[in-house]
Structure 1
Amino acid sequence: MQHNNHHAAHEKIHVLHLLGNAIVGGMENYVRSLLQALPANTFDITCLCPYESPITAELRRGACEVFVSPVDPDPTWQSVQTVVGIIRSRGIHLLHAHLPPAHRLAGLAGALARRPVLATIHGMSDPDSIGIQRLVGSHLAVICHAAYMEAVAWGVPREKLTLIRNGVDLQRFSPRPDGADFRRAVGIPPDAPLVGFVGRLSWEKGPDQFVRAAAIVHEARPDVHFALVGEGPMAAELQEQIAAQGLAGCVHLAGLWPDVAPVYPAFDVLAQTSRAEGMPLALLEGMACARPYAGMGVGGVLEIVRAGVTGLLAAPGDWHGLGRALLQLLADPDRACQMGQAARQHVAHEFSLQNTASQTAALYRRLVQAALPPLSRPGDTFFNNSRLTTIKQKETRS
């Protein structure tokens, strides 16, 4: 069988990941975990990030070549040239973009270099990403069934759409005896009931709703402590909210923990209060650590949580209902423990990182095999390596 592609079946596939952000967040952690899980004997990986950050350092420690170059909502011709230069100098077969600015940049560069483009939508489908897909003909990957159906409703052809759910590393995130180190570092008594939130302190994650639910629980159970693990633009506002509601002694802003695996075992209950969500990694990680869950049923959360079996759900925006759910779990530790064990089993069966990596690898192969051969223009020096030299100098100085 012959393919109209320059890529030989025995050749490793070289993928360029373009990240639209480089904070320590769900998308960035997803990319890092995925790259670690893809088989190194089958794939070579190069990354392009918009700026230096702890994520770029982590990627380099994983033996990934990382370029740093602007990834703006409206890509400049210079940034498109940069990506095309990377494609040609590194022998890239496929571009994988994360977040709309990276999708735009990858779409333009991929069209010029005749390379297939895959864009993962890390939340719910949005008009921005759908519009880019229509413009450049890229393939879309979505992380939950709700986002898949939204994309279909927006008019994305099913042959240009793949559902690949987020997965969690079941060895890294596993039940542990306790979370004493986290409690000690944050100043939480070892025997105090603890409700935890893990996520970016930003509006869409709803940390303010977590504090409101904490106030409801505190009225009935003043012995319960609460921890918000993460950083973000709402940190100062949350500090004021906590003080105004008289919760300074029991609600703790724990800051960013680069490794959250030891954090989840410290929680008696994991809470999630997002206003919008695709398939939250923090929820999968906590469930993999056998933590019972109470949260709001938004987006892909409804595809993860089995209500009454692995956790309890409140309606979106209903922090009163969430407060009641938390009180139920805190009042019945045996039931909470059973839910935690069921959560671990459910995640292990349905949401393993290995499943995610296997499905992604299969999609990579399919897209590369179906791609057109690249344009070959002998003597074409329009896209040269001068910008690559500048970028590499920048990263070696960091």
Structure 2
Amino acid sequence: MRILMISDVYFPRITGVSTSIQTFAREFVAKGHELTLIAPDYSAAGGESAPEPFEVLRIPSRYLVIDPEDRMLRPREIRRLDGMLASRGYDLVHIQTPFFAHYLGLGIAKRLGVPVVESYHTFFEQYLHHYVPFVPTAWMQRLARDFSTAQCNAVDALAVPSHAMLEVLKSYGVKTPATVIPTGIELVQFSQGDGARFRNSRGIPPGRPVLVHVSRLAFEKNIDFILRMLVRVKTQVPDVLLVIAGEGPAHRRLQTLANHLGLADNTLFTGYLERDGSLEDCYCAGAAFVFASKTETQGLVLLEAMALGVPVVSTAVMGTKEVLAGGGGSLIAEDDETDFADKAVRVLTDPALRARLAVEAVEHARSWSAPVLAERMLQFYAQVIARRVRNQATDPALDPTPKTDDVV
């Protein structure tokens, strides 16, 4: 199978979407399929990515005003690829993000005469208003719902990371055929980490109690809740340290909040960490991984921590509820700072509990292996392609001949 993906974001820009694309793409190639990814070129900003086992076509892009970390692909540069893409014989286009890549991907699929699948990675109703604060929240949420519905109904099929997110889309009025396929994790990569090495590199004493949080530092990640919760943990574990790994638009505000709460000596912001052992070491430096996002369509970081044997303390909302189903390897907290803090303190102060959760966490993570979930996605692709062929056989108006004169 020949697959063409397009996304508004990819490494070196670190997000869950980047990780999902990379995980699936590497597995597809390992299974003998061909894959091309169209993604922004970050070289002007000094960003470079490591070589991949699949083709990455980097497209010149512009900054987005509302979020300078993101990019807007240039349509004219995409059109210049038309001849080359048409010669490749792609079977399907997979759109990974809902911004310009969505419309560009639809145009490419139409010109190539192939079906298009889209992944719905982000819960925009609980996301968009953080980036346009001067517009009433209710207006932005309504806009996000209408925006998502229109886009989802414009493609042939949807891949959704969790049942909770799928139910939300159905409530919007999305009618497009959809299936739930989470992103798997590379169990080999997340099988070992050296917490002592991370502590030594950051000057953290071996016996200091540490909690770890890994995510993009974005407003919708609810990290301010984690900081307020830490104030309560500190009353019982005075030398606790929260390591926050990641970068993003909320970084400055979070640091200001930490200082305001008297947590300057109890927080360590590391910035982005590479997946070359540095991130894995960071996870393993903690007695527990803490997470409280309410907008996750899945929550890959929870699985990464668990695969490394790090117990999780987290709320269970949307996608995280499904990741943590069964409770193995985790303590599920209420959306309440006191309850969350109590559970974090339990893990920090009870070695036997911590050891039991660590064993359970590794076992739980095994059921989310990348090869298994990649095979599910490939089967989904095959179903979408077969449905297109059937529809073309019954409706002569559906001409599969590639178009070269359509405008994106």
Match of 1:16 in 2: 4
Match of 2:387 in 1: 370
TM-score, length of structure 2 as denominator length: 0.81
Conservation of the 8 A alpha-carbon contact between 1:228 and 1:254: yes
260-269 vs 363-372, greater mean Cα deviation:
363-372
Match of 2:340 in 1: 322
303-312 vs 21-30, greater mean Cα deviation:
303-312
Match of 1:273 in 2: 292
- Tell me, yes or no, if structure 1 residue 30 matches structure 2 residue 28: no
Once the two structures are superposed, the pairs formed by residues 381-396 of structure 1 within 5 Å of their partners are 382=405
SS of residue in 1 equivalent to 2:189: coil
Q: Residue type matched to 2:39 in 1?
A: C
SS of residue in 1 equivalent to 2:174: coil
- Tell me, yes or no, if structure 1 residue 52 matches structure 2 residue 42: yes
**Could you give the per-residue CA deviations for residues 24-74 of structure 1, whole angstroms, max 9, x where no partner exists?**
111101111211111446311111113326998446443423231449999
Match of 1:251 among 254, 258, 267: 267
How far did residue 308 of structure 1 move?
Answer: 5.1
Distance 1:60 1:90, change over 3 A: farther
Match of 2:323 in 1: 304
The runs of 4+ residues in structure 1 deviating greater than 4 Å are 53-57, 69-77, 82-86
Once the two structures are superposed, the pairs formed by residues 1-398 of structure 1 within 5 Å of their partners are 13-22=1-10, 23-40=13-30, 42-52=32-42, 57-58=48-49, 60-70=51-61, 78=76, 81-82=79-80, 84-101=82-99, 102-124=101-123, 127=145, 128-134=147-153, 136-157=154-175, 160-176=177-193, 178-259=194-275, 260-306=279-325, 309-316=328-335, 318-349=336-367, 351-372=368-389, 374-375=400-401, 382=405
SS of residue in 2 equivalent to 1:148: helix
**Could you give the per-residue CA deviations for residues 67-117 of structure 1, whole angstroms, max 9, x where no partner exists?**
314499998863663464453143322111112112232123312332111
Where relative contact order (Cα < 8 A, 6+ residues apart) is larger, the structure is 1
Q: Residue type matched to 2:22 in 1?
A: R
* Structure 2: unaligned runs, 5 residues or longer: 65-70, 126-144, 390-398
SS of residue in 1 equivalent to 2:269: strand
SS of residue in 2 equivalent to 1:212: helix
Conservation of the 8 A alpha-carbon contact between 2:107 and 2:406: no
359-368 vs 247-256, greater mean Cα deviation:
359-368
SS of residue in 2 equivalent to 1:246: coil
CA distance in structure 2 between the aligned counterparts of 1:348 and 1:268, rounded to whole angstroms: 20
SS of residue in 1 equivalent to 2:378: helix
**Could you give the per-residue CA deviations for residues 367-392 of structure 1, whole angstroms, max 9, x where no partner exists?**
23333563157xx6x589xxxxxxxx
**Could you give the per-residue CA deviations for residues 292-335 of structure 1, whole angstroms, max 9, x where no partner exists?**
1111222111112146542122233x223211110121121211
CA distance in structure 1 between the aligned counterparts of 2:312 and 2:149, rounded to whole angstroms: 33
How far did residue 217 of structure 1 move?
Answer: 0.6
Conservation of the 8 A alpha-carbon contact between 2:95 and 2:119: yes
Conservation of the 8 A alpha-carbon contact between 1:208 and 1:238: yes
SS of residue in 1 equivalent to 2:216: coil
**Could you give the per-residue CA deviations for residues 326-369 of structure 1, whole angstroms, max 9, x where no partner exists?**
012112121122112112111202x1111111111112222233
Conservation of the 8 A alpha-carbon contact between 1:122 and 1:278: yes
How far did residue 232 of structure 1 move?
Answer: 0.8
295-304 vs 281-290, greater mean Cα deviation:
295-304
Conservation of the 8 A alpha-carbon contact between 2:5 and 2:35: yes
Distance 1:79 1:156, change over 3 A: farther
Q: Residue type matched to 2:372 in 1?
A: N
How far did residue 288 of structure 1 move?
Answer: 0.7
SS of residue in 2 equivalent to 1:130: helix
Conservation of the 8 A alpha-carbon contact between 2:59 and 2:73: no
25-34 vs 242-251, greater mean Cα deviation:
242-251
TM-score, length of structure 1 as denominator length: 0.83
114-123 vs 31-40, greater mean Cα deviation:
31-40
* Structure 1: unaligned runs, 5 residues or longer: 1-12, 385-398
CA distance in structure 2 between the aligned counterparts of 1:332 and 1:144, rounded to whole angstroms: 33
Aligned length: 364
Match of 2:138 in 1: none
How far did residue 199 of structure 1 move?
Answer: 0.4
CA distance in structure 2 between the aligned counterparts of 1:77 and 1:289, rounded to whole angstroms: 41
SS of residue in 2 equivalent to 1:42: coil
SS of residue in 2 equivalent to 1:38: helix
Distance 1:347 1:40, change over 3 A: closer
Cα RMSD between the aligned structures?
2.8
CA distance in structure 1 between the aligned counterparts of 2:120 and 2:386, rounded to whole angstroms: 23
CA distance in structure 2 between the aligned counterparts of 1:223 and 1:76, rounded to whole angstroms: 50
Q: Residue type matched to 1:256 in 2?
A: Y
Identity among equivalent positions (%) equals 25
Distance 1:17 1:75, change over 3 A: same
Q: Residue type matched to 2:120 in 1?
A: I
Conservation of the 8 A alpha-carbon contact between 2:2 and 2:91: yes
SS of residue in 2 equivalent to 1:291: coil
SS of residue in 2 equivalent to 1:261: helix
SS of residue in 1 equivalent to 2:310: coil
27-36 vs 77-86, greater mean Cα deviation:
77-86
